[in-house]
């Protein structure tokens, strides 16, 4: 078995590049008017106790008809468990709020917890800030990362229902 980094290094050395069959879509669109929140985690993605530090992101799910569904996730950094998620046909604030609400239902309360995300405009908007746990301050941001990369790399699903079932199966395996 050969490591993918070794293959990439050899290919780079002889001038070969891989073929990308589908276009990548940008899901992190920073709101230039929003005030940037501080990175309170200091790039330390660990937690000593559950229900204290969460990370979240939005990724896209391509549907065969050319449309997309968007998946917002919330993960506890202590247990590395997915505690909340939501799927919608938009990347508006409500999508992130739905994922945070699901996390709150799972955990009972998010009071005092810190929520870390990228600089995406759906997460930066005041609607999300107003729903974050008391004592957690503003959402905190770091470098852009993508959760659910395996889902993004999958083929297009034939329908939204098929995409939802695949996501549910992947998230709860």
Which helix (H) or strand (E) covers residue 4, if one does?
Answer: helix 4-13
CATH number of 24-171: 3.30.420
pLDDT digits (tens, 9 = 90+) for 1-43: 788 888 888 888 888 877 666 666 665 566 667 666 667 777 7
Note if the pTM is more than 0.85.
Answer: no
What is the Cα–Cα distance from 122 to 100, expressed in whole angstroms? Answer: 13
């Amino acid at each position: 078995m050969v490591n993918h980094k070794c293959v990439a290094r050899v290919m780079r050395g002889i001038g070969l590049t891989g073929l990308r069959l589908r276009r990548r879509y940008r899901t992190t669109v920073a709101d230039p008017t929003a005030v940037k929140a501080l990175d309170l985690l200091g790039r330390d993605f660990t937690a000593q106790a559950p229900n204290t530090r969460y990370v979240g992101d939005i990724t896209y799910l391509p549907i065969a008809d050319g449309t997309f569904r968007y998946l917002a996730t919330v993960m506890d950094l202590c247990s590395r468990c997915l505690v909340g998620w939501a799927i919608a046909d938009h990347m508006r604030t409500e999508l992130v709020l739905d994922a945070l609400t699901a996390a709150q239902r799972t955990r009972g309360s998010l009071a005092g917890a810190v929520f870390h995300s990228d600089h995406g405009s759906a997460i930066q908007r005041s609607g999300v800030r107003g729903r974050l746990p008391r004592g957690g301050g503003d959402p905190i941001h770091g470098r852009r990362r993508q959760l659910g990369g395996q889902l993004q790399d999958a083929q297009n699903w034939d329908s939204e229902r098929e995409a939802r079932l695949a996501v549910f199966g992947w998230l709860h395996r």
